Amino acid sequence: MTALLGRDRRTGASVVLVLLVVLIGVNAVLNPARLAPAGIFTTIGLVAPLMLAALATTPSILSGGGGIDISIGPMIGFINVMMVLFLFEAGIDSPIVVIPLVLGLGALLGAFNGVLVAYVRLQPIVATLGTFLLFIGLTPWIMSQPGGDAPEWVLRLGDDFALVPVAFVGVLWFVIYRTPLYRYLMAVGGSSKAAYTSGINVARVRVFAYALGGLIAAVAAIALTALIGSGDPNIGQPITLKAIAAVALGGVSLAGGRGGFIGAGAGALVIFQLELALTSTQASTFMIQMIFGIVLVLAVLFNAIVGRRR
Amino acid sequence: MISPGIRQAAARLRDSWIMPLLLGLALFALASILIDGFASIRTARAILVLASFVGLAAVGQSLVIVMGGIDLSIPFLVGFANVVAAELFGAGLPDPVVVAVVIGMTVSIGALNGFLSKRFGVHPLIITLGVGTAALAAVMFWTAGFPSGSAPDWVTSFVSIGATTGPIPAPPIVLFWAVVTIIMIVVERSTSYGRRLFALGSNPRAAQLALVRPLRMWVATFAISGAFAGATGLLFLGFTGKAFGSVGEPLLFQTIAAVVIGGTSLIGGLGGYVRTAMGAIVLILLSTMLLGLGVQSSLIQAATGALIIVLVSVYGREAALRDTI
C-alpha cells in the first residue's frame, strides 16, 4: 500500500484519501444503490475510464522537466474510434488479437509524444498540445458520427468484469515498482541533472514514461468502449482536464518526482464521488462544476501547505 | 560546407521575430495563389478581426508565459465576461459602469490566480484551471444557464468586419489591437515592469536577488491577463450578439498556440508579445486558407497541431541536458 503511494504518502495522498472516505460516507447515505454490492461493478465501470485516464497522465508528470501529457484525453478518443472502426467493424473481435493491437497502438502513440519531448526536446506542454490537436482533428475525420458496436467480451468489461482493466494497470504499476525502472523514473523526475550525472539515460526513461502513459490510455479506451458500447469521435477531448485535476487532487506534484498511482486513482474517485453526491441532491451541472473547481483549488492548496510544514 | 558566418546568420534569423512574419507572408502568398479572391480587403479584414480576438486574449498568456507560468483561466474568464456583460447591459446599467465592473471582476480573479499560485507554490496550470472553472460555473449558475441581454450598438460596430474607423478601412478592434501591440512593445522593452518580467522568467532566483518581488509580479501579470480576457469576452458579445458561456473555449489552446507559433518559449524569459501577435495572425491565416480550400474543420485542427510540432522543432528546442550541467 505505502509502496504504491510513492514518496509523497504523508502529504498529498493522505488528503485525498480522507476526502474520499468522507465522500463515500456521504454517498452511502445519499446513494445507497450506487454503492450496494449488487451494483458495485457497474459503478466501477462508470468510474474506470476517468480513473485510468488519470493513471495514464501520471507517469509523464512523474518524469519531471515540466513533463505532462495533455493529449491523453484525445488519445483515448482516437483509440476508441480506431478500435471500433478498424477492428470490430472489420470483424476482428477476438480478445487475443484486439488487446495486444490496442495496447501496442497506445504505447506507440505515447512513445511518439515521448520522443518529441526527450529527443526532439520540445517543451512537454507544447509537444502534447500539438498531438492533442492532431488527435482531435483526425478522430472525427476517420469517424464522423458516433456508431459501431463492441463485442460481448468488451461490454462485460464495463459490467461484471469492470475491475479487470483497473486491476491490470494496478498490477502493471506494481511490477514496475519492483524493478529499477521505478527508481529511474523518480530519480529523473526529482532531478534530471543528478540522474544524468549518475549515468541514467534520462531521455530513454522519459520515452518510457510517455509510452507507459499511452499504454494505460489504451486500457482506458477499452474501459470507455466497454462503457459506451460504441465509437464516439467527440468523447475524448474533455477527459484531459478532468484527468489532470484528478492527478493534482491526488497529490502528484506537477514539478515531477513526487506522487504515485494510488493518489492519482483516488483523485479520480473523489471527482466521481463528488459528482455522484451533488447529482443526487439535484444540484445543477453549473453548481457541480463550481464546487468541483473550488474543491480542486482548496485541495491543492491544502496539499501545498501541509507539504511545506513537513 | 557551410561557412560559420552563414550558420551564425541562419541561427540569428531562426531566433528572431522575422520567422513568424515570413511564415505569415508565405502563407498569405500561398493562399492568394491557391484561392481566387483571397487577396482582397474583405478577406484581410476578416482575418485581422478574428486574429484580434485571439491576439487580445493572448496578451496575458504571452506575459504569463514569459514570466514562466501558464494561464488556463483565459477561456473561462472570456465566457465569464461575456455572460456578465450581457446581463449588465441587459439590466440597463450605463455602459462605462458595465465595462468597469466586468474588467474589475476579471482583474480580481486574475490577481487571485497569481496570488494563490505564487504564495503557495502550486503549479499555475492547476490553480487557473480550478479558479476559472469555478468562476464561469458561478455566473452560469447565476443565470441558470440561459444568459440574457445583448450587445449595445457600439460594441457591435467596434468588432464588425465591415466597419471602418473614420478614414481607415478597418474596424476599430483591429486598430485597438495595433495600439495594444505598440504599448506592449514599450512595456516589455522600456519599463521596469518589462525588465523585471523577463528577469523573473529567465532566472527566478537571480531576479529575486536583484530585488524583483515575485509575488507582486505574479499578481500583477495574472491580473493583466484577467483584464485582457475580460475585454475579449466583452468584445465577443458584439460578434455573437448574444451571450454564450462557452464562447471562449477555443481560446484555451489558441492563446497557447499563438504564443508558441510566435516563438516565445514556455521555459520563460524568452520571446515577447510582437511574436505572439504574429503567431495569432499565422494561426488564423492557416485556418482561413484551409477553410477556403474546402478542408473540413477537424482536419484544420490537426494541421494546426502539425504546424506547432514542426515549427517548435525548428526554433523552440530546449538545450540538451548534457549542455546544462
Assign a CATH topology to domain A2-305: ABC transporter involved in vitamin B12 uptake, BtuC (1.10.3470)
Q: Which chain B residues in 139-198 lie under 8 Å from chain A, judged by CB atoms?
A: 140-141, 144-145
- Any residues with CB less than 8 A from the CB of B24 and at least 6 apart, and which? B278, B281, B282, B285
In SS3 terms, A55-83 reads as HHHHHHHHCCCCCCCCCHHHHHHHHHHHH
Q: Which residues of chain B carry a pLDDT beneath 50?
A: none
Query: Which H or E element spans position B201?
Result: helix B192-202
Distance in angstroms (rounded) separating the CA atoms of residues B296 and B223: 37
Shortest Cα–Cα distance, A118 to chain B (Å): 9
* Confidence at residue B267, expressed as pLDDT on a 0 to 100 scale: 82
**Average pLDDT value over all residues in chain A:** 90
In SS3 terms, B227-267 reads as HHHHHHHHHHHHHHCECCCCCCCCHHHHHHHHHHHHCCCCC
Mean pLDDT per block of 10 residues along chain A (310 residues) reads 46 75 89 79 92 96 92 97 94 93 98 96 93 95 92 92 95 94 93 92 96 98 96 92 91 85 92 88 86 89 74
**Average pLDDT value over all residues in chain B:** 91
Q: Phi and psi at residue B244, in whole multiples of 5°?
A: -135, 125
Shortest Cα–Cα distance, A131 to chain B (Å): 6
Chain A residues in contact with B257 (beta carbon < 8 A):
129, 133
CA B294 to chain centre: 27
Are A252 and A84 contacting, i.e. CB atoms less than 8 angstroms apart? Answer: no
Of residues A136, A203, A244, nearest to B301 (C-beta): A136
Nearest CA in chain A to B263: A126
Residue B193, CA distances (Å) to B119, B188, B203, B213, B268 in order: 20, 7, 15, 11, 15
- Interface contact A310, partner B, CB < 8 A: no
> Bridge-partner residues for A231, per DSSP?
A147
Angle made by CA atoms B25, B30, B31, in degrees to the nearest 5: 100
Instruction: Indicate yes or no: CB of A127 within 8 angstroms of CB of B309.
Output: yes
Distance in angstroms (rounded) separating the CA atoms of residues A90 and A93: 8
- Interface contact B260, partner A, CB < 8 A: yes
DSSP letters, A209-229, are: HHHHHHHHHHHHHHHHHHHHS
SS3 content of chain A, % helix, strand, coil (to 5): 75, 0, 25
Residue with cell 461493478: A41
* Confidence at residue A50, expressed as pLDDT on a 0 to 100 scale: 96
Structural domain boundaries in chain A: 2-305
First to last CA, chain B: 30
Instruction: Indicate yes or no: CB of A120 within 8 angstroms of CB of B134.
Output: no
- Interface contact B43, partner A, CB < 8 A: no
What ipTM was predicted for this assembly? 0.88
Residue A98, CA distances (Å) to A48, A53, A90 in order: 19, 20, 12
Nearest CA in chain B to A246: B126
- Any residues with CB less than 8 A from the CB of A113 and at least 6 apart, and which? A60, A69, A71, A127, A128, A131, A210, A213, A214
- Cell triple for residue A264? 492519482
* Confidence at residue A2, expressed as pLDDT on a 0 to 100 scale: 46
- Interface contact B309, partner A, CB < 8 A: yes
* Confidence at residue A309, expressed as pLDDT on a 0 to 100 scale: 58
Are A223 and A49 contacting, i.e. CB atoms less than 8 angstroms apart? Answer: yes
Helix (H, G, I), strand (E, B) or coil at B271: coil
Are B85 and B102 contacting, i.e. CB atoms less than 8 angstroms apart? Answer: yes
* Confidence at residue A1, expressed as pLDDT on a 0 to 100 scale: 44
- Any residues with CB less than 8 A from the CB of A275 and at least 6 apart, and which? A288, A292
Q: Which chain B residues in 280-299 lie under 8 Å from chain A, judged by CB atoms?
A: 296, 298-299
* Confidence at residue A308, expressed as pLDDT on a 0 to 100 scale: 64
CA-based nearest residue to B298, from A274, A78, A20, A218: A78
Q: Determine if the pTM surpasses 0.95.
A: no
Report the sign of the C-alpha dihedral through residues B248, B249, B251, B256, in that order: positive
* Confidence at residue B1, expressed as pLDDT on a 0 to 100 scale: 56
Distance in angstroms (rounded) separating the CA atoms of residues A239 and A74: 8
